[in-house]
Structure 1
Amino acid sequence: MKLLLDRISLAFIAITSAYVGVFAYFAPKTWYDTFPGLGLRWLPQLGPYNEHFAKDVGAAYLAFTALSLMALAHAKKPGVVPLAGAALLVFNTLHFLYHLTMLHLYQPLDQALNVVLLSLLVVTSIVLVIPGRAAVTNRSATSST
């Protein structure tokens, strides 16, 4: 069950990271003007457009995509998923906390969507760092000998 949850979490993070990464890196001005899409605009409220910053965001999200896909491909190897999860948890938590301080800039629907979507990324990252039953059993066995 844990392996399935890890794979779902990694796939979700990979897909969302690829969306942001490709969009921000390859079309930074359009990303800034229209992100997240569907008629919503979340970036202009946060400050003026900066191509360097937008491309750096895109590059970081593409790195998260690569990290998530590599962890997904090697999910059965000990330590791979928790290591990827730890890196993703640091980013997703800090990103979420920053956006909590910016909610006053948005309308209620945008506020709710920011909180729900960004907290979902934190939760999926937490799933990745929680050890599975086999890891807990193995740790207990080795520490008692």
Structure 2
Amino acid sequence: MSNEAPTERSGRTKVAVDRAALVALMLVAAGTGCWAYLAPLSWHLSFPGFGLSWLPQLGPYNEHLAKDTGAMFLALAVLSAIALRRAADRALVRVAGAAWLVFDVLHLGYHLTMLHMYGPLDQVLNVLSLGFLVVLALVLVLPARHR
């Protein structure tokens, strides 16, 4: 049995969970951001990859919009990296989580209205992938559980 107080243990667990969520969000943002910014036409035609293509159905290619999207994802990657480096700083982690949550909820909300543009597999993958990002952001915003 550990001599650690339950709140100290739950605090350390929360930091570890936050770190995992920040790593996942940072990797998604860095990958998407680099692709969209450095190769915007390829990103538009081929996102999310793996033989799938989700963007052409939503409108014509726009280099400016694609590069702006890439820049925004890179900014979120930087915020996530800074919060990861200082994961014990609850305020910073919550701010990063709040920024991600605003983006992720609005992004998911838009895509939920556009599911009719896709086949069944793409519909499910859209909801699952974007929903997972909302969950990761919520993890960062929510406080540690106290026993």
User: What is the TM-score with the length of structure 1 in the denominator?
Assistant: 0.90
SS at match of 1:131: coil
Please state if 1:36 is matched with 2:60: no
> Pairwise mapping of residues 51-62 of structure 1 onto structure 2 (< 5 A)?
51-62=63-74
Report % sequence identity: 54
2:89, 2:137 → 1: CA distance? 18
The code of the aligned residue for 1:53 comes to L
List runs of 5+ in structure 2 lacking aligned partners: 1-12
1:42, 1:78 → 2: CA distance? 35
1:63, 1:51 → 2: CA distance? 18
List runs of 5+ in structure 1 lacking aligned partners: 137-145
For this pair of structures, how many residues does the alignment match? 135
Aligned residue for 2:9? none
1:88, 1:34 → 2: CA distance? 24
Give the 4+ runs in structure 1 shifted more than 4 A.
none
2:122, 2:31 → 1: CA distance? 19
Aligned residue for 1:7? 19
What do you get for the CA RMSD once the two structures are aligned?
A: 1.2
Aligned residue for 2:134? 122
Listed one character per residue, the Cα deviations across residues 51-106 of structure 1 (whole Å, up to 9, x for unaligned) are 00000000000001001110000111231101110111000110000000000000
Please state if 1:63 is matched with 2:71: no
1:105, 1:132 → 2: CA distance? 39
SS at match of 2:87: coil
Aligned residue for 1:143? none
